[in-house]
Chain A
Amino acid sequence: MNFIYNILNSLPFEFIHYDFMKNALLAVIIITPLFALLGTMAVNNKMAFFSDALGHSAFTGIAIGILLGLGNPVLSMVAFGIFLGLVISRVKSFKTASTDTIISVFSSVSVALGIVILSKNGGFSKYSSYLIGDILIVTPQEILLMFIVLIVVYIVWIKIYNKLLLISINSSLASSRGINCALIENIFVVLLSISVMLSVKWIGILTINSFLILPSAAARNIALNSKQYHFYSLAIGIICGIAGLIISFYADTSAGATMVLTSAVVYFITLMFKKSVRK
């Protein structure tokens, strides 16, 4: 860690001389490529609303952690996120109601349940920081954990991407090729749940979904194939993340929300180019 700090110290920027900014920058450099990757498939599969519900369920995850007496609620958040993600996928496959209705039900229930438990005895205010998140409080241990998650997600992505892509285009065709669609989709849901839950404290429950969706949504406006899609999404995610962090430092605003706004600007710019790319 000291080695990385020294490198950052040698950079000629004022903001980088604070340790919390060094940590925040490292965190951004790790989670933006993570989310850029997962976002491509979340958008392909029309899961924007799904990941939104996932972020919102963080409250229940925290509440369960407190009920169980865990010092750090991260474990219960991740566990609940995975549980909720898999349950929504399963209920969705029954095709009894439209997907957005199902997700909406689960989303509001998990938000309400979390708030009810956390607000008991009037203690909710200390959890409200989760709503907008704070990337400046990230610790070196958390950065290391995120880095490990990043590596794992990239390795799994190499293994399952082609299958996920085929499923997103036509699941019958994927089945006929011997692909276990439910298994592959569940692996994706688990990766998404872990990533969202581990970073929600930094980015904020209200903005984490845009963090996931915007870079990919912008990338698909201008990309013509899978490789471009990933490359643009990564580039937009990382550049907007770092730019947003620096802007938030000087403007003294919430880092998560500023990064989302930066990506939104890029999204609207790519939207203008969309027509000229697609004949």
Chain B
Amino acid sequence: MKSHNNCGLCQIDIENLSVVNRGDIIIENINLTFHCGELTAVIGRNGAGKTTLLQAIINERPYTGSITFKSHDDTAIKKPKIGYVPQQLVFDKSTPVSVADFMLSCKSKRPLWLGSDKKQLEEIKERLKSLECGYLWDRPLGNLSGGEIQKVLLLTALDPMPDLLILDEPVSGVDAAGLDMFYKRITTIRDQYHIAIILVSHDLNLIQRYADSAVLIDKTVVAQGDVDEVFASDAFNQLFGYLREEK
């Protein structure tokens, strides 16, 4: 077994997971295990159920089957800490909410309309500085660029350090250099804190470079294992083969 530093989590077991929306089966019979210290890429065509799977894991959607977060001594963790980086923030850009407001709303008990807790605010400024964006704290959230939003979302997801980090197409609106930097940062966090990371992405090259394992989903799990194994599978070739031939 690999060494575990900070995280209490060992693995996430998904058994027999199905999500049905008013008679339509969206995903069914999914059996998966995500290990801590591993970056697992979830791939599949549009509408294959990737986002639905994530929604079930973060408890946003009702599902049947079980999702269990287990610690090293094999007991279940009732309230796992989940960090979630959404695809994009779709919200009314004119909403008067500053970056600090947004980050504090995730953690602070003090209602933001009565002002923010000074100590927590300083912490957030420090965190922003760690990604060279300390100047962002009092900017309205709606004024940020794609790259700035992504930094803020990642910092928010890592505060507190989660057991599981979920990245849902986290790099839309970011340039190539920013992309590489982002994944380097993610893999550093994985190695440093030994957390489990689930990444949904369409970028197969990046997955090959950074992911430890991959899961191919098409309503259910059609291939899983090492990235190379999955990329060599028949199911993968049927779905994505044309991309390979183009090269």
Q: Residues on A close to B: CB < 8 A?
A: 40, 44, 46, 94, 157-159, 161-163, 165-166, 168-173, 175-178, 181, 219-220, 223-230, 278-279
Whether a CB of chain A sits under 8 angstroms from the CB of B100 is: yes
> How long is the Cα–Cα vector from A242 to B178 in the complex, in angstroms?
53
Q: Which of A44, A158, A176, A229 interacts with B114 by CB under 8 Å?
A: A158
Whether a CB of chain A sits under 8 angstroms from the CB of B172 is: no
Whether a CB of chain A sits under 8 angstroms from the CB of B16 is: no
Q: Given A44-B95, A165-B101 in contact, is the A175-B138 Cβ separation under 8 Å?
A: no
Residues on A with C-beta less than 8 A from B141 are 169
Q: Given A172-B58, A173-B84, A176-B83 in contact, is the A225-B111 Cβ separation under 8 Å?
A: no
Residues on B with C-beta less than 8 A from A278 are 94, 140, 143
Residues on B with C-beta less than 8 A from A44 are 92, 95
Whether a CB of chain A sits under 8 angstroms from the CB of B79 is: yes
> How long is the Cα–Cα vector from A162 to B109 in the complex, in angstroms?
8
Main secondary structure of the interface of A (DSSP, over half): helix
Residues on A with C-beta less than 8 A from B108 are 162
Closest 7 CB pairs between A and B? A176-B84, A223-B96, A175-B60, A230-B113, A225-B98, A176-B58, A229-B96
Q: Which of A168, A172, A175, A225 interacts with B100 by CB under 8 Å?
A: A225
A162 close to B112 (CB less than 8 A)? yes
| A177, A220, A223: most-surrounded residue (chain B CB, <10 A) | A177
> How long is the Cα–Cα vector from A220 to B84 in the complex, in angstroms?
28
A170 close to B105 (CB less than 8 A)? no
Whether a CB of chain A sits under 8 angstroms from the CB of B59 is: yes
Whether a CB of chain A sits under 8 angstroms from the CB of B89 is: yes
B104 close to A176 (CB less than 8 A)? no
Residues on A with C-beta less than 8 A from B105 are 162-163, 165-166, 169
Q: Which of B104, B109, B111, B168 interacts with A157 by CB under 8 Å?
A: B111
B111 close to A158 (CB less than 8 A)? yes
B96 close to A220 (CB less than 8 A)? yes
B142 to chain A, nearest CB (A): 8
A169 close to B97 (CB less than 8 A)? yes
B245 to chain A, nearest CB (A): 35
Minimum CB distance partner of A226 in chain B: B112
- Chain A to chain B contacts (Cβ below 8 Å), 5 pairs: A172-B168, A220-B96, A224-B98, A226-B96, A278-B140
Chain B residue total in the interface (Cβ 8 A): 42
Besides the contacts A220-B94, A225-B100, A227-B112, what 20 more A-B pairs have beta carbons closer than 8 Å?
A: A40-B113, A94-B22, A159-B111, A161-B113, A165-B102, A169-B91, A172-B58, A172-B60, A172-B84, A175-B58, A176-B58, A176-B84, A177-B84, A223-B96, A224-B138, A225-B98, A227-B115, A229-B97, A278-B140, A278-B143
A169 close to B58 (CB less than 8 A)? no
> How long is the Cα–Cα vector from A175 to B168 in the complex, in angstroms?
14
Question: 0/1 per residue, B159-194, Cβ < 8 Å to A?
Answer: 000000010100000000000000000000000000
> How long is the Cα–Cα vector from A48 to B111 in the complex, in angstroms?
23
A141 to chain B, nearest CB (A): 30
Minimum CB distance partner of A165 in chain B: B105
A170 close to B89 (CB less than 8 A)? yes
Whether a CB of chain A sits under 8 angstroms from the CB of B82 is: yes
> How long is the Cα–Cα vector from A90 to B44 in the complex, in angstroms?
31
Residues on A with C-beta less than 8 A from B116 are 227
Q: Given A172-B55, A219-B96 in contact, is the A161-B111 Cβ separation under 8 Å?
A: yes
> How long is the Cα–Cα vector from A87 to B90 in the complex, in angstroms?
25
A162 close to B111 (CB less than 8 A)? yes
Q: Given A176-B83, A279-B143 in contact, is the A169-B102 Cβ separation under 8 Å?
A: yes
> How long is the Cα–Cα vector from A219 to B97 in the complex, in angstroms?
12
Q: Which of A165, A168, A175, A176 interacts with B112 by CB under 8 Å?
A: A165
B79 close to A227 (CB less than 8 A)? no
Minimum CB distance partner of B93 in chain A: A278
Residues on B with C-beta less than 8 A from A224 are 96, 98, 138, 140
Whether a CB of chain A sits under 8 angstroms from the CB of B8 is: no
> How long is the Cα–Cα vector from A169 to B105 in the complex, in angstroms?
10
B58 close to A227 (CB less than 8 A)? no
Minimum CB distance partner of B153 in chain A: A173
| B86, B90, B156: most-surrounded residue (chain A CB, <10 A) | B86
Q: Which of A40, A163, A225 interacts with B138 by CB under 8 Å?
A: A225
> How long is the Cα–Cα vector from A94 to B156 in the complex, in angstroms?
29
Residues on B with C-beta less than 8 A from A94 are 22
A34 to chain B, nearest CB (A): 14
> How long is the Cα–Cα vector from A219 to B104 in the complex, in angstroms?
21
Residues on A with C-beta less than 8 A from B140 are 224-225, 278
Whether a CB of chain A sits under 8 angstroms from the CB of B106 is: yes
